[in-house]
Amino acid sequence: MTPSAKKRDSRFKFVTDIIAELKKAVWPTRQEALRLTGMVLIVCLAAGLILGGFDFGFFHLVNWLR
């Protein structure tokens, strides 16, 4: 087997290994995926509001201290 043929085979082996691993994965149901997506959105919104509040507070604190 030539070196280029070995390289080509290893590339295709990599792709087939990926497909095999994806078939082994346990995928969430549609309901689980929607519930978890909602939870992620709520946590992101809460974190954004908290960080935005800190930013707003520190902005006004710095302007007050000037």
Looking at residue 29, its pLDDT comes to 97
Whether the per-residue pLDDT at 3 is higher than 70: the answer is no
Share of the chain above pLDDT 70, in %: 83
- The pLDDT value recorded for residue 1 is 56
Mean pLDDT of 9-34: 90
Quote the mean pLDDT of the chain: 90
> Which structural domain, as residue segments, surrounds residue 42?
3-65
Which helix or strand (DSSP H or E) is residue 66 part of?
Answer: none
pLDDT at 24 over 70: yes
Contact yes or no for 43/51 (Cβ under 8 A): no
Spatial distance between the Cα atoms of 57 and 66, rounded to a whole number of angstroms: 14
Looking at the 3D structure of the chain, how many domains does it have? 1
Average pLDDT, stretch 12-25? Answer: 91
